[in-house]
Amino acid sequence: MSVPVVYFVIPCYNEEQVLPETVKRLTEKLHAMISAGLADPKSRMLFVDDGSRDGTWRMISEFCGANKLVSGIKLAHNRGHQNALLAGLMTAREFADCAVSLDADLQDDVDVLDEFVKKYLEGCDVVYGVRNKRDTDTAFKRMTALGFYRFMAVLGVDVVYNHADYRLMSRRALDALSEYREVNLFLRGLVPLIGYRSAVVTYDRHERFAGESKYPLKKMLAFAVDGITSFSVKPLKLIFHLGVLVSLIGFVGTAWAGIAHFAAGWAGWLAAFWSLWLLGGLILLGMGVVGTYLGKIYAEVKARPRYKIEEFKK
C-alpha cells in the first residue's frame, strides 16, 4: 500500500483555550508521521468549528493561513458533536485515504496516532481507540458509563466498550457511513454496523487540557438515551411485558381484595390510593418511552440537513 493521505478530524465548540496547544501537538505529530513514511505530505488536520460563540473560528482561520497542514470548516450553526464530526468526516472523505476523529481538548492521546495508521496499513478499515482505564473520570461517570454499556449489551446493540469517538476510518468505511442518512446520529453505534475489518488501539485518556467539558450530566444522559433509542426498539417491548405483568398483579390483587373485603370487612382505601400512584407512574413512564420514539420518528421524517458548511479553508 502506498503512503496514505491521513486527515485528523477535530470538532471544536468554544475551544479557543485549547486550540493553540492542540495545533502545536498535532503539527508535531503529523510532521513526524510524514517523516516516518506513515502519512503523505498532503495529509491535514481538519478543524470543524461547530458554530462556536468565542474566537474559535477566527483562530482556526489564522492557523489555516500560517500552517499549511491546517484546514478548517465552519458550520453555520451549532449542530452538536456528532453532526460536527460527520461534517468533518464527509469533507475528509473527498481528500483522504483515511481519517482519524479526535477531540480538540487533547483528552485522546495523540501519541498513539501512528498505531491507528499502522493498523490501517495492515488492512483494517476501522480502528477503534479504546481507553485503558477510566481513572480520570469520577466514580459516578464510571458507574453510569458501565451501566450504559451493560444496558446496550442487554439490548443486543453492538458497541465497543470504553470507546468514544477516537477512531480511524478508511475511505471505504467513510463511503459506507455516508449511506446512513439518519438524523439521530450516534456514530459509536453506527460504525460497527458497517462491518468491515476492524482493530482496536488502546490508550490512556488524559484530563481535558483546558476549558470546560461540553457534555454536562444532562447532555450526557440525553446522549445515552439517544444511543439506546436509535439502535433498539426493545424498550417498547419491555413496556408491553411490563403491562402484562402489572395487569396480572392487578387481576390477582382485585380478587384478593374482594375476598378480604367480604371475609374480613377490610378497608382497602390505602391499597387503592397507592396503586393509583403506581399505575399512574407506570403509564406515564410508558408514554414517555413511546413519546421518545415518536420524537425520533418526527425528526427522521422531516429529514432536515444534518449540518451546513458555511466556509471551507483548505
221 sits near ligand UDP (criterion: CB under 6 A)? no
Q: How far is CA 255 from CA 90, 246, 274, in A?
A: 62, 14, 17
- Picking from 132, 128, 158, 134, the residue whose alpha carbon sits closest to that of residue 146 is 134
Residue 251 φ then ψ, to 5°: -65, -50
Q: How far apart are CA 145 and CA 42, in angstroms?
A: 38
Asked if 214 touches ligand UDP (CB under 6 A), the answer is yes
> Would you say 20 or 250 has its CB closer to ligand UDP?
20
Using rule CB under 5 A, residue 226 touches Mg ion: no
> Which of Mg ion, ligand UDP, none does 93 bind, CB closer than 5 to 8 A by kind?
none
Residue 156 region by backbone torsions, left for phi larger than 0, else alpha for psi between -120 and 50, else beta: left
Judged by CB under 6 A, the stretch of 35-43, 142-150, 209-217, 228-236 that binds ligand UDP is 209-217
Q: Does 109 bind Mg ion (CB under 5 A)?
A: no
The answer to whether residue 215 forms part of the interface with ligand UDP (CB under 6 A) is yes
Number of residues counted as binding ligand UDP (CB under 6 A): 16
Position among 33, 46, 99, 104 found at the interface with ligand UDP (CB under 6 A)? 104
Q: Which stretch binds ligand UDP (CB under 6 A): 104-112, 126-134, 190-198, 276-284?
A: 104-112
Q: What is the DSSP letter of 94?
A: T
Our finding on whether 84 is near ligand UDP (CB under 6 A) is: yes
**Whole-number Å distance between alpha carbons of 115 and 111:** 9
Using the Cα atoms of residue 206, residue 212, residue 213 and residue 214 in order, give the sign of their dihedral. negative
In the chain, DSSP assigns E strands to 6-12, 44-49, 70-75, 98-101, 126-131, 163-170, 198-203, 309-313
For residue 181, count other CB atoms closer than 10 A to its CB. 8
Least distance in angstroms from the C-beta of 202 to ligand UDP: 18
101 binds Mg ion (CB under 5 A): no
> Which lies closer to ligand UDP via its Cβ, residue 84 or residue 113?
84
Task: Write down how long the chain is.
Answer: 314
Size of residue set near Mg ion by CB under 5 A: 3
CB of 299 to ligand UDP, least distance (A): 17
Footprint of Mg ion (CB under 5 A): 103, 105, 107
Footprint of ligand UDP (CB under 6 A): 11-13, 15, 50, 78, 80-81, 84, 103-105, 107, 213-215
